[in-house]
Chain A
Amino acid sequence: MQRLRITFSKTAAMKFSGHLDLHKTWERTLRRARLPLAYSEGFNPHPKIQLAAALPLGFTSDCEIVDIWLETSQPLANARAALERAVPPGITLIEVAEAIEGGPALQTQVVAAEYRVLVSTDLNPEAMDERIAALLAAPEIKRVRRNKEYDLRPLIESLARTESDALGHTLLMRLTAREGATGRPEEVVEALGAEAAKAAFHRQKLFLAETVAR
């Protein structure tokens, strides 16, 4: 058994493919690539595919990660070439590496995610910076999501404006992404007093436990 760790981008129409659909897309990609995808045992076998962290519908990304188990080991270059030919439009391979076969589940390894968000508002850059500073200085940020109140502040690990132009302000934010403690960039945008519906979200980095010293 071989565990491949594939880093890929998700763009174009693919950004509207949800988490479960993406799972199916990878199964089909592997089948088209004729790579020996491993399946679980049991009465209803399912493909051994693990996606790192669900990407909200409509977000683009160039840092998505999927782990895939193969029945028999393949040279990485061959696997990558087969996958290149088989990925659908909207998915581009960035890296194909080997992961430790018996290592922990991928989704448990994610600790944080970094987003680049284009926010269109009437605020000038200085005003936006003030709001960001105020948000970061706040001891807590009470938000309600799905009828549940929670504190957004501890989930924001960093937040800054990187540039502004005619289209709006580009914000860079690093948010916690652990089970039961996942910061959502739309919530940060709303907390800044801007409209999430008018923002464009892009995930550009996923931090895994093994690469982060904490």
Chain B
Amino acid sequence: MLTPEQIENKLERLLPTVEKPGRYTGGELNSIVKDWGDPQIKTRVCVAFPDIYDLGMSNLGVGILYDILNQRPDTLAERAYCPWSDMEAVMRREGIPLYSLETKHPLSAFDVIGISLPYEQLYSNLLNFLDLAGLPLLTVDRGPDHPLIVAGGHATYNPEPVADFVDAFVIGEGEDVIVEIVTTYQKRKAEGSGDKLTLLKQLAKIWGVYVPALYEVIYNEDGTIAATTPTVPEAPAKVIKRIVPVMPPPLTKMIVPYIDTVHNRFPIEIMRGCTRGCRFCQAGMITRPVRERSVDQILQAIEDGLASTGFEEIALLSLSSSDYDDILELVRRVGEKYAGKHLSISVPSLRIETASVELMELLKDTKRGGFTFAPEAATEKMREIINKAVPTQQVLDTAREVYSRGWPTIKLYFMIGHPSETLEDVQAIVDLCKAVLAEGRKVLGNKANVTAGVSTFVPKPHTPFQWVSCDTIEQIIAKQSLLKRTLRGPGLKLNWNNPQETQLEAWFSRGDRRLGRVLLEAWKRGAKFDAWQEHFKYDAWQEAFAVCGLDPQFYTHRPRLIDETFPWDHIDIALKKQFLTEDYLWSLRGQTRVDCRERCFACGILPRFTKMREQTPVEAWECPEVKPKHLRGKQTVSLELPVQSA
């Protein structure tokens, strides 16, 4: 194994030969370098994002975990990202293993490697990452002396496609559980029980941790799942997602990169979860309950964050910022405080309503961003099916308001491939964009323009649309060519996704454990950086499916029966499957649900987390208050505790 000094020396010579060498140096402001010789430090963790630095540094989750771990005197945390292909070639040629940015230790020298997997296009990179680190790819091939590979992030709510490669998954929010994983690891190390299985069993007992090696998957003859069952008593039959009862203090001491990155700014999460219940939206289902930070806490975090970073841009992040209880007060106070300070403020995810325009007007003395709205579908009927009911007139009224206040550009996000969608529904996207542009023309003339981003819908696990079949590639191409043909002309711009890349996302979103072999075969055939068009190798994936004797269409276009057992059914996101089933059936009838701040639909969060809700301040959650049992009248909700039973 190369020493950090040897790696440093090689880098000194080689970095000038690669593109953007600033990706590979570390040493940035606010990065934390601890001494590996410090006897106090018991556990060394590397947090990682399996794509290049430019993207990885923009991932808030990795930054949060890095900060939490480094606050512990007994733990050090460093970072690693994938090298871009030019650097990868250099590293493989020179025998340089993947190393941490802080101290240039090879990744194999760490105790735990925590990898963020927010989306499926990173799976081939995960394999490449492990390979560059010199680690066996399969969890069965890694022993107690190899680093423990932990993964988390939204994609891992269906962990099965990458179950062969990851030792333990964090299902849910990482802030508390990462610490429990580290302390469990430390205890095992201190006890000196050098057996990996023992460690895995101990990890499986932690709420929110899924250890796939401790489960057996039984398939039906048709390839669907009969059952996924634990093989040891320590592993729970259902892995309940982890949540933090109250949003923890926000990260303020962010690392400031030396080079430009995708989101080179100070982000602050103002709210977690969403009460809207859009049926296609996985984030809206898996991040319940809705928890908010207070206006004062957010303002203080911005102040501290700007003082420690000097960033000239901030972003107020959430799934639906308009729904944040005190959004008006928050935006007004931020706008007043930073007026004339040359600070850019972005408030993404605003509702399509004129109030959003008034909200942005509160920021008129700062550098505010433009308007992006997401109607997702272009007809009222289709918006009812997806439960994002906005009257078309409201879209046009909002657009008129935006243009008349001087913004020349409106970005509109749509999806094609919604359930029951026809070419007429796709044509309606074109018509709506043109109608919006016409509103702009009335007030701004030819200055007005519309950018339409039309992505392709991929049904996600744990959503009411998890039963829906995807459009075939031919259907997608037909819909896209209609858009390309008709959504054109002065003032109109269209962006769309490569349909082949959408297929990849769709296979893995609802994939099962058998896809691990496909992934391995595709990686052997050169698949990596699937999220990058210039790298994406559709043929490698097709071949991999053929070699494994699996039909990709099984995962995408097969209609699923309402009572089918899914590969992710043992992952419990605290929504009752019955709630999702009912919501799916409602969608078929075009029946909508209102925002659950108005009315609780008993999705399952409260019965699952009753105890936690009781002990949490009323204002911290948007879910109704739950009184302790002795203060309640007759109650019908069960009092199941959020702990995993053995």
Contacts and interface: CB of A to CB of B under 8 A. Distances in A.
Interface of A: 12-14, 16-18, 20-21, 24-25, 27-32, 34, 37, 39, 45, 47, 57-58, 86, 88-90, 197-198
24 contacts: A12-B27, A13-B22, A16-B15, A16-B259, A17-B259, A18-B259, A21-B259, A24-B260, A28-B310, A28-B311, A31-B306, A32-B307, A32-B308, A32-B309, A45-B342, A47-B342, A58-B15, A86-B310, A88-B256, A88-B258, A89-B28, A89-B29, A197-B17, A198-B13
B26 interface: yes
A24 B307 CA distance: 16
Contacts of B306: 31
A20 B260 CA distance: 9
A13 B312 contact: no
A25 B260 CA distance: 10
B344 to A, nearest CB: 11
A165 to B, nearest CB: 18
Contacts of B20: 16
Given A16-B21, A16-B25, A32-B309, A21 B16 contact: no
A57 B258 CA distance: 12
Contacts of B27: 12-14, 89-90
Nearest to A89: B27
A27 B310 contact: yes
B312 A31 contact: yes
A184 to B, nearest CB: 14
A86 B309 CA distance: 9
A29 B307 CA distance: 10
Which of B22, B27, B258, B260: most chain A Cβ within 10 A?
A: B258
Interface string B389-407: 0000000000000000000
Contacts of A34: 307
A116 B462 CA distance: 62
Contact of A28 (B16, B259, B260, B312): B312
Contacts of B21: 16, 57-58
Contact of B312 (A18, A27, A57, A198): A27
B487 to A, nearest CB: 29
Contacts of B309: 28, 32
A197 B16 contact: yes
Given A39-B342, A88-B28, A89-B27, A17 B258 contact: yes
Given A16-B21, A32-B309, A90 B16 contact: no
B21 to A, nearest CB: 4
Closest 5 CB pairs of A and B: A28-B310, A13-B25, A13-B27, A31-B310, A32-B310
Contact of B29 (A30, A31, A88): A88
A13 B28 CA distance: 8
B342 A13 contact: no
Contacts of A16: 15, 20-22, 25, 258-259
Contacts of A197: 16-17
Contacts of B342: 37, 39, 45, 47
Interface of B: 13, 15-17, 20-22, 25-29, 256, 258-260, 264, 306-312, 342
Given A30-B310, A88-B256, 5 more contacts: A12-B27, A17-B259, A18-B259, A27-B312, A88-B28
Which of A13, A32, A90: most chain B Cβ within 10 A?
A: A13
A148 to B, nearest CB: 22
Nearest to B341: A31
A39 B16 CA distance: 34
A90 B312 CA distance: 21
Contact of A57 (B16, B256, B310): B16
Nearest to A29: B310
Given A45-B342, A89-B27, A21 B310 contact: no
Contacts of B259: 16-18, 21
Which of B21, B29, B307, B312: most chain A Cβ within 10 A?
A: B29
Contacts of A12: 25, 27
B160 to A, nearest CB: 40
Contacts of B258: 13-14, 16-17, 21, 25, 88, 90
Nearest to A39: B342
A124 B309 CA distance: 49
A199 to B, nearest CB: 9
Contacts of A28: 256, 309-312
A25 B27 CA distance: 14
Which of B15, B16, B259, B260: most chain A Cβ within 10 A?
A: B16
Contacts of A18: 22, 259
B342 to A, nearest CB: 5
A16 B12 CA distance: 11
A53 to B, nearest CB: 19
Which of A30, A32, A45: most chain B Cβ within 10 A?
A: A32
Which of B13, B21, B22, B310: most chain A Cβ within 10 A?
A: B310
A58 B25 CA distance: 11
A24 B310 CA distance: 10
A18 B306 CA distance: 23
Contacts of B260: 20-21, 24
A13 B556 CA distance: 46
A88 B259 CA distance: 13
A95 B590 CA distance: 70
Contacts of A86: 310
A34 B310 CA distance: 9
A31 B302 CA distance: 13
Nearest to A56: B16
Nearest to A198: B13
Contacts of B22: 13, 16-18, 21
B481 to A, nearest CB: 38
A64 B311 CA distance: 23
A30 B341 CA distance: 12
Contacts of B307: 32, 34
Contacts of B16: 57-58, 197
Contacts of A58: 15-16, 21
Contacts of A25: 258
A182 to B, nearest CB: 19
Nearest to A31: B310
A57 B342 CA distance: 29
